[in-house]
Structure 1
């Protein structure tokens, strides 16, 4: 409950991770022996009694299940307290509906590979990973250590087999995989944890023969924490739009050689996550979190499906931004900039605006005005989101005319991505919102100031340290712009 989710976030979490209210449990169980799995849903009546007491309902709600799966890399070594924290967190996540398929890893194993025979190294890997098995069982969970029969050398690279993993999931165990591959000649060869992560994620995406869901999350638990933010030294990235920001982050590491020594796994993890997310649904995300931030960081991300700190918020408190050193990553979508109305797909833009605002757009009036005052348009993907900026008044002030996210693209971090992109491009701007608009709290948090205009239904917001100097101009602009919508959107 300390995650304080909004109503929409809580509904999204319950729909995705929790059995429906009329059902007591929902577990992944073995199918008819043909290699598939069916979801067994047990209703209150089928068990011979109804769940009448809150305690029984909560017990059923928190019964270990495998509604959604995460491919999780646990990157040690940790002290005993760290292992206990990891094990306890994995058990808590399982009870909340997210079961981890764990890949054990250790930054020291790659150097040991040069000094030890493969067989001796594998024994060391198994011994060290038993600490995680013990921590899970100490926390009341069940774990199964798997160090063979999962990863093998294929014609096109490392391939994963899911039989042992499925068996563990069916028995409500958390599978823990040692990153060891069976080579073509039949010998076992250690590989990196990242190679195992990509192989498992890829196999789960191509799951038609196994009926296993694609990973809802890619998780990295380590000592190092999230990806350092090159734009704000001393902080970690809160949210990374991988498609848009990957190259810039790699370039920043190339320019700051000391970062590669201080954060030795950052770029490797970033590349692994990029490879995994590129094949996953847009609803899937990744998170990198240090053990010092467990369990709160992962539970909050699970429930709200967003970063711990919004990347679109003004960075007034550096300590708050960096406190938990946690980075959420999404594959994201490509973002393009336009400065000419005729370069936009107006049909798609109209559909986006009407779907987002649920109102009928005055197309002729809106686009005729836009041709005269457009300052720029930021379009995400195939019109999944849009920012429309105009230049208003004699002072040429930048005005946020429309900020729209398609209903189908909500909850994937696109709002923060577009808002940050807008603020970077327009360091001073204004916008308006009706006084009863439910999103105003969000606006208050991201504005540098606001003013309720008398004799109108508008709240004037501005962004930029010097905005207060232009309040009279801003108020005049807000009062002068005619409404773009003609009424409620009527759909058949």
Structure 2
């Protein structure tokens, strides 16, 4: 309900101009209120802060983290629990001192003992557990652009993420005279920009990586789907980076490496970054192996976890162009299942505006192979420093890739500078027969996801009869089970049978790592998005060939996931304790819209009549898959 307008406290007459201004404000307030039903709330700016501090706080608020996002952030950066302190030994009772003893104690100087700080003070002085990120700054940039980039690095440092920056200059040809001096100048420009934003930065002008594969890589027979770095580093080579991070300084490196003659030569920045990601991860593992018992690196305030948590590629180009959005960036990329297809569908016309998109895509795939499974990479434009905060706190794309395609197409937030989030991801496959399903693993997935006990005999009997297909992510980390529900006789063929989403499940350990979005995009491509060119992802299914069908599912009215369903469905209707959701087949919507000269669908079409009643009659009679709760 809209709030009543404020009372006018002044008795002075109101001019027509003032009334017009107030009327305009009232209209804007009403319009903003209506828009807020669909858009995230953006709080007003606080006026009592410095501009940089305002930007930082607003960037935090715009990130709009969920409870899961907040818990994940605190798990990575929050203070670590300290081991319980041992109780001090009780002192034996001593007789009261005599007068002479009191005088002697007063003349004796007490020992110089420094009081230990209280836990509250210690937590304020050292509020977060510091982690590291590898950052590629793909110059050249103007001073103003570098200022924007440096501001983003400072924001991340405030949140506990310390950056290790490698500077590249695409417009500096290799082998030219003065090449090294130009690289040093570009590195110092970045250092000066960081210090101009209040950060402490340290130029590391010597080479910290070595050319060539790491000893032993040639003999490795492990299967891998990434290209090994063309350089390597050892833990002893990271002394300057470790020293800078311990001192709270941001190390900034030029793309240099030592060759076999110990000469410092310029190499591709991607090779330096890939070598550092691998080397820093190995150094962090070595650090952890040196602690014993209850000790851990987090108990030592000067120690930094060198394991790279994020890879950030900052360019003038922004993200990777998408075939599904007419050249606007991909929002979220599952590298395991989409890497080859993205390369194959990269339009040559994008090459002039995105000359390094594919090489950076390959860099992300190589680096994420050496980073923790929860890590991500982000390709971002210099115009979007606030997106770095959103990525750090939520580890999600700026706009969810699983939203309805029509909404994504018309979303004003999507611009050429929208960042692309990249995850190592999981393989996605589609199976269409029950005997292709690992029933034991599926049972574990469903029961852990829904926290209920599966009624196995009845569930699998229904699957044998009605199964359409199952989308499986990884080794049963997630699954979407779709059935074809028969309708009573006389129901139009456009409605019968019903394509019903019976189960949509993701293991708790994979919730928040992109698996949910990967699954839903694959579900879209196999059901209501089928038949459109952007649904041709190689997920083992129909690869875009066929005719899309309406997708229907139900959810308990008190299910906390319903907010997510509301955003992705075409519509919903409440039915007792349930909510029925559906997604209209997108090809049919486009056809009907074309017949009406793009006037939009504002009234009930012939093919929709009786549809909701049929869905409710059939779907609400589907038996539960769970055993009764005790």
In the superposition, the TM-score normalised over structure 1's length comes to 0.87
Does residue 404 in structure 1 map to residue 526 in structure 2? no
| SS of equivalent residue, structure 2 residue 620 | helix
1:401 deviates by 0.3
Partner of 2:364: 273
Q: If each structure's strand is expressed as a fraction of its own residues, which one has the higher value? A: 1
Partner of 1:15: 75
CA distance 1:121–1:187, shift in 2 (3 Å): same
* CA offsets 1:379-426 (integer angstroms, 9 cap, x no match): 111100000000012311210000000011111101001001001110
Contact 2:472 2:478 (C-alpha < 8 Å) held by counterparts? yes
- Structure 2 unaligned spans of 5+: 1-60, 84-114, 215-229, 289-304, 488-495, 529-549, 590-606
Partner of 2:254: 178
Partner of 2:553: 431
1:72 to 127, 135, 149: 135
TM alignment of 1:72-111, pairs within 5 A: 72-109=135-172
1:286 to 368, 372, 377: 377
- Structure 1 unaligned spans of 5+: 24-44
* CA offsets 1:95-134 (integer angstroms, 9 cap, x no match): 101111111112113xx214x14xx211110101211101
Partner of 1:158: 231
CA distance in 2, matches of 1:154, 1:195: 10
| SS of equivalent residue, structure 1 residue 244 | helix
Contact 1:235 1:318 (C-alpha < 8 Å) held by counterparts? no
CA distance in 1, matches of 2:486, 2:150: 59
Partner of 1:304: 394
CA distance 1:46–1:307, shift in 2 (3 Å): farther
| SS of equivalent residue, structure 2 residue 579 | strand
Which structure has the greater CA radius of gyration? 2
TM alignment of 1:434-445, pairs within 5 A: 434-445=556-567
| SS of equivalent residue, structure 2 residue 187 | helix
TM alignment of 1:365-384, pairs within 5 A: 365-384=458-477
Partner of 1:189: 265
| SS of equivalent residue, structure 1 residue 485 | coil
CA distance in 1, matches of 2:188, 2:278: 26
CA distance 1:366–1:48, shift in 2 (3 Å): closer
Contact 2:327 2:350 (C-alpha < 8 Å) held by counterparts? no
1:15 deviates by 1.9
CA distance in 2, matches of 1:322, 1:21: 43
| SS of equivalent residue, structure 1 residue 166 | helix
In the superposition, the TM-score normalised over structure 2's length comes to 0.69
User: Which stretch shows the higher mean deviation, 152-161 or 231-240?
Assistant: 152-161
CA distance in 1, matches of 2:179, 2:416: 36
* CA offsets 1:153-201 (integer angstroms, 9 cap, x no match): 2454411231111111111111111111111112221011111111111
| SS of equivalent residue, structure 1 residue 376 | strand
Partner of 2:107: none
| SS of equivalent residue, structure 2 residue 627 | strand
CA distance in 1, matches of 2:481, 2:153: 43
Contact 1:122 1:180 (C-alpha < 8 Å) held by counterparts? no
| SS of equivalent residue, structure 1 residue 359 | coil
Contact 1:221 1:291 (C-alpha < 8 Å) held by counterparts? yes
1:366 deviates by 0.6
Partner of 1:113: 174
CA distance 1:71–1:49, shift in 2 (3 Å): closer
CA distance in 2, matches of 1:49, 1:216: 27
Does residue 446 in structure 1 map to residue 573 in structure 2? no
Contact 2:80 2:129 (C-alpha < 8 Å) held by counterparts? no
1:230 deviates by 1.0
* CA offsets 1:357-387 (integer angstroms, 9 cap, x no match): 0011111111110110000000111100000
1:216 deviates by 0.8
| SS of equivalent residue, structure 2 residue 463 | helix
CA distance in 2, matches of 1:433, 1:348: 24
User: Which stretch shows the higher mean deviation, 96-105 or 158-167?
Assistant: 158-167
CA distance in 2, matches of 1:221, 1:18: 27
CA distance in 2, matches of 1:84, 1:66: 26
Does residue 47 in structure 1 map to residue 117 in structure 2? yes
Contact 1:339 1:375 (C-alpha < 8 Å) held by counterparts? yes
CA distance in 1, matches of 2:526, 2:267: 44
Partner of 1:319: 412
CA distance in 2, matches of 1:126, 1:468: 67
CA distance in 1, matches of 2:120, 2:361: 48
Does residue 221 in structure 1 map to residue 341 in structure 2? no
1:234 deviates by 3.6
Contact 2:320 2:357 (C-alpha < 8 Å) held by counterparts? yes
Contact 1:86 1:132 (C-alpha < 8 Å) held by counterparts? no
